[in-house]
Structure 1
């Protein structure tokens, strides 16, 4: 699914060069559930951005499903993000004035499906995360765990090849965290490739594969 070869990312900060990624080589086969851990500033979010076609490396190559995305232009990168990747973040990023159903439908806008298809795919995605009966609720009427499920449904409605999650349980209590991880495990068992960044070792231990990044260097745990 992913193949990264000697990926480096440097940038300037207050007159000094920061090596966010220092020669990362990594393969992630289709169908894995991968957790990436590391301290703040260690490079884990930068790595996720490379996998998510949100940034380009300073050098090295990033290949997704046989296509070298590290060399694509902005328009083609946007197309990859829209059609192949689903994103879940620590903050749910839901529009407070829209219902759960409408929030999920909004995530399909870049794909341009007809209104009836958009409505059906959103309803199916909400049902897949256990919220079939919450589609008409506003975010403020939902718990934190339910809001995160809506954001997961928004990502799933695109029918992505990969789900990328950045601290997806960071705002949740322990019980709700375990509930969301149970959902991720179910999606993984159904064949979805999932890569998540987390600071929580209890979350990482439930992944099929654990990676650690520090100082821009990646190791297996």
Structure 2
């Protein structure tokens, strides 16, 4: 699925930051991978590389053979829209849209017709146990429910990869376990490749494979 070759990311400003240092990494199709490490160690930067949200300073990021580092801006936008689902710690839901409308927004770049967007959004919400909450605004939902909406939004476009950045970071322990079980179920049932950044060792232990990144260097755990 992914093959990273000698990936380096350097940020320059008042001081130079080496966020990633010559990273070589392979992630197989259908793997569930957890990434841990200290703050500032490069976790989020690595996830941004995998998601095509940023480009490496040097090296290649191959997704199913396509080098995300070399795609045009338009092709990279299409790759993100069609192949990659994103889940973030802070949900990033639009507060004035209902749960179903939030989920449907993921299909706009794919030019899915409105009627089909609505149907698929409702199906996605049902798949995460929120069929009865489709007409609720984010402010009317609990944190765990909002994260389920965010997961449904990521999955509704039927991506090959799900990238999750601290998906349980704002949740209590019981809700955390519910979300992790949901992700595990989707991984097993849908055959998704899931890469998850987490500070929570209890969450990381549930993964099929664990990586650690510190000072821009990736190691297996």
Shorter-chain TM range is over 0.9
TM-score (norm 1): 0.98
* Separation in 1, partners of 2:182, 2:212: 23
* Separation in 2, partners of 1:2, 1:208: 16
Displacement of 1:116 in angstroms is 1.1
* Separation in 1, partners of 2:128, 2:210: 25
Displacement of 1:17 in angstroms is 1.8
Displacement of 1:68 in angstroms is 1.1
Which digits, 9 at most, give the CA deviation of each residue in 1:45-90, with x for residues without a partner? 0000000001111111100011111111211110110000000000
Gaps of 5+ in 1: none
Displacement of 1:138 in angstroms is 1.0
Corresponding residue number in structure 1 for 2:175: 176
Superposed, 1:73-92 pairs within 5 Å as: 73-92=72-91
Corresponding residue number in structure 2 for 1:94: 93
Structure 1 residue 206 corresponds to structure 2 residue 206: yes
* Separation in 1, partners of 2:98, 2:56: 38
| Equivalences, count | 220
* Separation in 2, partners of 1:122, 1:50: 28
Q: CA RMSD in A?
A: 0.7
Corresponding residue number in structure 2 for 1:219: 219
Structure 1 segments, 4+ long, off by >4 Å, are none
Superposed, 1:125-144 pairs within 5 Å as: 125-144=124-143
Greater shift, 167-176 or 4-13, is seen at 4-13
Corresponding residue number in structure 1 for 2:12: 12
Displacement of 1:13 in angstroms is 3.5
Describe the SS at the equivalent of 2:87.
Answer: strand
Describe the SS at the equivalent of 2:69.
Answer: helix
* Separation in 2, partners of 1:81, 1:197: 18
Corresponding residue number in structure 2 for 1:163: 162
